[in-house]
Amino acid sequence: MFLIDTLGNGYNKNESTKVTTLADDFSEPSTAPKSNNDYLEIFLDCLYLEQGVSENTLSAYRSDLDKFCQFLKGKNLMTVTGLDVESYLAHRVDLGLKPRSTARSISALKRFYQYFVREKLISDSPMLNIAQPKAGQSLPKTLSEAEVEALLSAPNTDEPMGLRDKAMLELLYATGLRVSELVGLRIEQINLRQAVVFVKGKGNKERLVPLGEEAMYWLEQFLKVGRAQMIKHATDFVFPSKRGVGMTRQTFWHRVKHYAILASIESSLSPHTLRHAFATHLLNHGADLRVVQMMLGHSDLSTTQIYTHVANERLKSVHAQHHPRA
C-alpha cells in the first residue's frame, strides 16, 4: 500500500513549513502510481490513516470503486471524463441496480476525485456535473413485539451455543447495537454491576447503553455457564464462535435467519431488524426521540426520525384493522 507523506521533501528548517502534495511526491516517474489499483490504494490509505473510517466503510468504498474500474476496462482513472461517468451510470440502470446503490457509488466517486483534485494530480473532477439520483427513503424493516418474543424464545438454552445466541439476541433487542458492535464486544466493555455496555460505534464515537433486566440475566448465564465451554484458547471476545474466536457479522446473520425459521416468522428480515425493532418499540411506548438517538449512536437526529415514520405506519395499520369506521 502507498502511505501518504503530507510533509515530504518541502521542509527546510530555515524556511516556513511547506506542505507537499501527491503531485510533488510523484514528480519522478519512478515514484508515480503505475495502475488504477495504485490510485485506489492511495485513496483508501488516506481514508484509513487520516480520516479513521471503519473497516466496513473502507470495504464499501473499495467495492464501489472496483466496479467502476471494471467498467473502464483499463482506462486510467486520472483521465476519466464526465461522459465516462454518465456511461457508467447508464450501465448501472441497464443492470437494474437500485437508486440507493447508485447514490452510494456516486458518493464514493465524488470523494475519490475530490481527493485527487486536492492533491493536484488532476485539475477538475469528472463528477462536477453529476447529480445524485433521488433515492426514496425506505422505512426500516422491523418486527412486531409478538414476533420479537417468538424470535428471542427460539434458541435452545440447554446448549452452550443456544445460550450464547439467546444472550446475543436479548442484548441486541435490549440495546439496539449494530451487529458489528455486538459481534465485536469485548469483556471490558460490559459492566454488569452498573448494567451498562460501553460501545465504540461508527467514527469511533463512544456511548453507554443500559442493558435491561432480561438481557442482563441471559448475559450473566452465558458468561457463567456457556462461554467457558466454547472457548478453546484465551480470548476477550464476549461472544466466541464455534471455533472459540470472534464471530463474524455473516455468521450471526445466519443464526438469526435460522431462529426466524424456527419461530415461523414470515416478515422480511435484515441484519439490523432487531436494532430497528428496538428503536420502533421504544418510540411506540413513548420514549423521547433524543434518548433513542443517543442509544442508537446516531450523530444526526434526522437519522433517528425515520423510526417515527415506522411507528406512525404501525399506528395507521392498527387503526385500519381495528377501528369500526376505518
What tens-digit pLDDT sequence spans the chain (326 residues)?
Answer: 444 333 334 334 344 444 455 555 555 544 556 688 999 999 999 888 877 778 888 899 999 999 999 999 989 999 999 888 888 988 887 788 887 888 889 999 999 999 999 988 899 999 988 877 655 555 567 788 888 899 999 999 999 999 999 999 999 888 888 888 899 899 999 998 888 888 877 766 778 888 888 999 999 999 998 888 888 777 889 998 877 777 888 889 899 899 999 999 887 787 788 888 888 888 777 777 777 777 777 666 666 666 665 555 555 555 566 556 54
Closest CA to 147 of 237, 15, 264, 288: 264
Helix axes 145-152 and 160-175, enclosed angle (nearest 10) = 150
Q: Active site includes 275?
A: yes
Same domain (yes/no): 154, 71? no
Say if 30 falls within a structural domain. yes
- Of the residues 100, 118, 136, which one is the last residue of a structural domain? 118
Same domain (yes/no): 180, 313? yes
Buried b (16+ CB within 10 A) or exposed e, 146-180: ebbebbbebbebeebbbbbbbbbbbbbbbbbbbbb
Same domain (yes/no): 105, 162? no
> What pLDDT, on the 0 to 100 scale, is given for residue 174?
85
The full length of the chain comes to: 326
Helix axes 273-284 and 301-322, enclosed angle (nearest 10) = 70
Same domain (yes/no): 308, 200? yes
Question: Per the residue annotation, which of 166, 178, 227, 281 is the catalytic one?
Answer: 178
Say if 3 falls within a structural domain. no
List the beta bridge partners of residue 191: 196
- Of the residues 69, 101, 118, which one is the last residue of a structural domain? 118
Q: Active site includes 298?
A: yes
CATH number at residue 268: 1.10.443.10
Same domain (yes/no): 318, 199? yes
Q: Residues 6 or more apart from 245 whose CB is under 8 A from it?
A: 235, 237
Say if 136 falls within a structural domain. no
Question: Per the residue annotation, which of 92, 166, 275, 276 is the catalytic one?
Answer: 275
> What pLDDT, on the 0 to 100 scale, is given for residue 166?
94
Say if 127 falls within a structural domain. no
> What pLDDT, on the 0 to 100 scale, is given for residue 301?
63
- Domain range holding 205? 145-322
Phi-psi domain of 294 (left: phi exceeds 0; alpha: psi -120 through 50; beta: other): alpha
Residue 265 grid cell: 416468522
CA distances from 158 to 88, 132, 223 (A): 54, 52, 14
Phi-psi domain of 71 (left: phi exceeds 0; alpha: psi -120 through 50; beta: other): alpha
Task: Check if the beta carbon of residue 296 is closer than 8 Å to that of residue 275.
Answer: yes
Same domain (yes/no): 111, 181? no
Say if 139 falls within a structural domain. no
**Count of domains observed in the chain:** 2
DSSP three-state, residue 8: helix
Say if 132 falls within a structural domain. no
Q: Residues 6 or more apart from 73 whose CB is under 8 A from it?
A: none
> What pLDDT, on the 0 to 100 scale, is given for residue 2?
44
CATH number at residue 91: 1.10.150
Question: Per the residue annotation, which of 92, 111, 164, 272 is the catalytic one?
Answer: 272
Same domain (yes/no): 79, 153? no
pTM over 0.75: no
d(CA 16, CA 316): 66
> What pLDDT, on the 0 to 100 scale, is given for residue 117?
93
Same domain (yes/no): 112, 149? no
Same domain (yes/no): 181, 94? no
Task: Check if the beta carbon of residue 169 is closer than 8 Å to that of residue 253.
Answer: no
Q: Active site includes 111?
A: no
Residue 174 grid cell: 435490549
**Model confidence over 224-236: pLDDT tens digits?**
988 888 887 778 8
d(CA 191, CA 215): 13
Continuous H helices in the chain: 22-25, 36-49, 55-72, 82-94, 99-118, 145-152, 160-175, 179-183, 213-221, 227-230, 249-262, 273-284, 289-296, 301-322
- Of the residues 83, 118, 153, which one is the last residue of a structural domain? 118
Q: Active site includes 88?
A: no
Q: Active site includes 178?
A: yes
Same domain (yes/no): 300, 161? yes
Task: Check if the beta carbon of residue 124 is closer than 8 Å to that of residue 78.
Answer: no
> What pLDDT, on the 0 to 100 scale, is given for residue 317?
59
Same domain (yes/no): 101, 209? no
Question: Per the residue annotation, which of 202, 207, 249, 314 is the catalytic one?
Answer: 202
Task: Strand 206-210: give its sheet, edge to edge.
Answer: 190-191, 196-200, 206-210
Q: Active site includes 75?
A: no
DSSP three-state, residue 61: helix
Say if 242 falls within a structural domain. yes
Same domain (yes/no): 222, 160? yes
CA 34 to chain CA centroid, Å, is 32
Say if 138 falls within a structural domain. no
